[in-house]
A = this chain, B = another copy of it.
Amino acid sequence: MARPPRYDAATLLDSALDLAASGGPAAVTMAAVAKSAGAPSGSVYHRFADRPALLSALWLRTLAGFHTGLLAALEGPEPRAAALAAARHTVEWSRAHPAEARVLRYGPDDFGRASWPPHATRLLREANARAFSAVDSLARRLGAGEPAKSPADGPADGPAEDPAAVERVRIAIVDLPYALVQRHLREGATVPEHALTAVEECAAALLCAKHPDRTE
């Protein structure tokens, strides 16, 4: 009932991904995407209302690709194994998807979040909330296996929720792998294999040391 599409949204986003990976968000211009995909500029505007719409789609698609594996790892049955798997996932996914990982170096603000359509802004908020709550609940599960420390310390609702402990878990399984990956990507290199073992060791060390009793 209609002419078949030659340049669909996914294809155009692939071009946008390449441009963003090699030249940063600023390199993703509508003209550059069109040229890189071999399409006329009209076709790009046929798929995406404007540049913010394209940038938001690129960010959300990339983030979703990363989150699926991360969430799967975080929801593993055994808390400790799940934490280590999540830490590993960041490194492995970045090694397998270098272009996407380069995009996630930036933040949504760098991709013009301020001018995104409301729809995209909502999706971003939901995706981030989902990931954050998954990390949070894993941190709770990890804490539940430990001996309770001081029950009269704050309004512990469900299991004990020491914000500092949650923060430590978050550092071990999110920030630390992310930092290591980004260091290599920032230098223009790919993520080396030994980054994986480094992350495993460091995450294990951080998950072990729970009590900050050793002040010095």
Using a CB–CB cutoff of 8 Å, the interface residues on chain A facing chain B are 24-26, 107, 109-110, 164, 167-168, 171-172, 175-176, 178-180, 182-183, 186-188, 194, 197-198, 201-202, 204-206, 208-209, 212, 214, 216
Contacts and interface: CB of A to CB of B under 8 A. Distances in A.
Main secondary structure of the interface of A (DSSP, over half): helix
Contacts of A171: 176, 179-180, 198, 202
Nearest to A163: B194
22 contacts: A25-B26, A109-B186, A164-B194, A167-B198, A168-B202, A172-B202, A175-B183, A176-B179, A178-B179, A179-B179, A179-B182, A197-B212, A201-B209, A201-B212, A202-B206, A204-B214, A204-B216, A205-B205, A205-B208, A205-B209, A208-B214, A209-B209
Given A164-B194, A164-B197, A206 B206 contact: yes
A84 to B, nearest CB: 8
A109 B175 contact: no
Counting from the closest, the 9 A-B pairs by CB-CB distance are A179-B179, A205-B209, A107-B186, A175-B179, A26-B26, A201-B212, A167-B198, A24-B110, A205-B206
A151 to B, nearest CB: 22
A196 B26 CA distance: 33
